[in-house]
Amino acid sequence: MKKIISVVGARPNFMKIAPVDKAFNRIISNNGLKEEIKHLICHTGQHYDEKMSKAFFVDLQLPKPDFYLGIGSGTHAEQVANVMIAFEKILISEKPDMVIVVGDVNSTIACSMTAVKLGIKVAHIEAGLRSRDRAMPEEINRILTDSISDYLFVTEKSGYENLLNEGVPKEKIYFVGNVMIDSLANYLPKMDNNNIYKELNLETGNYMVVTLHRPSNVDSISNLEKIIILLSKLAASIKVVFPIHPRTRKNLDLSGLINELSPNLIFTDPLGYLEFNSLVRRSRLVLTDSGGIQEETTYMGVPCVTLRNNTERPITVEIGTNYLVGDNTENAFEKCVEILDGNFKKGEIPELWDGKAAERIVDILLDRLN
Ligand code: UD1
């Protein structure tokens, strides 16, 4: 019996592991491998709110995790250390043959490091992405996780090149496509049936969606002020929906900035997976600082303005619908106005973003395990 443990921790992990879990189940059942392969899920609890975690398990039809570490919030050192201590106990008692981690959150580096130190093979899905900005905690997590993983699955060509340039042997790198897009492709029909836009009094094509949660944008009051001015200016010509991440909510509440704003500015709690992407799909434009949303908008052909100086996902700018405007809210305003006036690129879907990445990954991993 071969045992594999996949790790989820924070919101952007759930849609990446869901298709992997489904692919394992499909392959195990189609090939009668029930006695030979066991795929388990460990949730570190880095994100724990109903709306940041449980809602995603429901929307993505993920099974209840086999292990829940309940780590919660904390400083970076606390979070990483607490995950490592708790995950090590699971690894020692379960003795898996492989650990799968995704993305770039603190749970990713914590669990990969714990597994490697116990001599357990690690597969990193969404490897090789680089923003080249070491002030981003995620960039440190990416570099470290990639440098110790045994199987590196990349979503775009830049990932392949970055890893080769860092000296990773090419035998360890697999260009397989994008598991997050597997989820999106799979759930698009359900999203089209979702009515959240009606509940929020919106019309298809007549509103924009905003998400901002990066520490560099939302941790200082002066930046938040600039962002609120930007959103208020945009709200003069279009409805603006802003589902607020807990980090941003905390700082906005402290700043007292969200009083007396335009009725066109609609703030909501974090939304579920289907609700959020159904809103994006019907929107005219997205303004974000997220990594994953740059990819989802490219796949859906929705223009995206990214309020960051860099992106670890350059393919979304090169051939997708994404525009990088730096951390300058004036530039962001100009680009948004241009797009709202109808001037934007149509974009193409990147190579291998075809809904089958998880299948490819699981095929490769099962082959290597034997
Ligand atoms: C984390 C990831 C980031 C990812 C983001 C998506 C790291 C280093 N960062 O950042 O890459 O883009 O998740 O959401 O791993 N909080 C709640 N409820 C929750 C979770 C968090 O209220 O369920 C609050 C906490 O009090 C915390 C704040 O939100 O202070 C931020 O959470 P944290 O997990 O530290 O980082 P994120 O900013 O969410």
Q: Which of 31, 59, 61 has its CA nearest to residue 270? A: 59
Q: Which of 223, 197, 20, 205 has its CA nearest to residue 124? A: 20
Residue bearing the CA closest to ligand 1, atom 31? 247
Going from the Cα of 72 to the center of ligand 1, the distance in angstroms, rounded, reads 9
What is the reported pLDDT for 138?
A: 98
Give the residues of the chain that fall short of pLDDT 70.
none
The residues annotated with a catalytic role in the active site are 213
How many whole angstroms separate alpha carbon 28 and alpha carbon 40? 13
Going from the Cα of 167 to the center of ligand 1, the distance in angstroms, rounded, reads 31
Going from the Cα of 77 to the center of ligand 1, the distance in angstroms, rounded, reads 14
Do 70 and 48 touch, CB atoms closer than 8 A?
A: yes
What is the reported pLDDT for 370?
A: 85
Name the burial class of residue 129, with classes exposed (0-12), middle (13-18) and buried (19+) by CB atoms within 10 angstroms of its CB: buried
What is the reported pLDDT for 160?
A: 98
pTM to 2 decimal places: 0.97
Give the β-pairing of 2-8 and 37-43. parallel
Which atom of ligand 1 is found nearest the CA of 48? Answer: 23
Determine the distance from the C-alpha atom of residue 91 to the mean position of all C-alpha atoms in its chain, rounded to a whole number.
Answer: 25
Check pocket membership of 49 for ligand 1, CB cut-off 6 A: yes
Check pocket membership of 45 for ligand 1, CB cut-off 6 A: no
Residue bearing the CA closest to ligand 1, atom 22? 246
What is the reported pLDDT for 276?
A: 98
What is the reported pLDDT for 258?
A: 81
Residue bearing the CA closest to ligand 1, atom 37? 247
Exposed e or buried b per residue across 35-61, where buried means at least 16 C-beta atoms within 10 angstroms of its C-beta: eebbbbbbbbbbbbeebbbbbbbebbe
Check pocket membership of 74 for ligand 1, CB cut-off 6 A: no
What is the reported pLDDT for 137?
A: 97
Check pocket membership of 247 for ligand 1, CB cut-off 6 A: yes
Q: Which of 350, 355, 359 has its CA nearest to residue 180? A: 355
Which atom of ligand 1 is found nearest the CA of 76? Answer: 8
Residue bearing the CA closest to ligand 1, atom 35? 73
Read out DSSP for 72-85?
----HHHHHHHHHH
What is the reported pLDDT for 336?
A: 98
Check pocket membership of 124 for ligand 1, CB cut-off 6 A: no
Going from the Cα of 65 to the center of ligand 1, the distance in angstroms, rounded, reads 20
- Mutate which of 101, 129, 180, 247 for ligand 1? The one with the most ligand atoms within 8 Å of its CB, which is 247
Q: Which two tokens stand for residue 84?
A: 């490592």
Report which secondary-structure segment, H or E, holds 263.
Answer: none
Q: Which two tokens stand for residue 41?
A: 């899920």
Which residue, chain included where needed, has tokens 């070491």?
134
Check pocket membership of 126 for ligand 1, CB cut-off 6 A: no
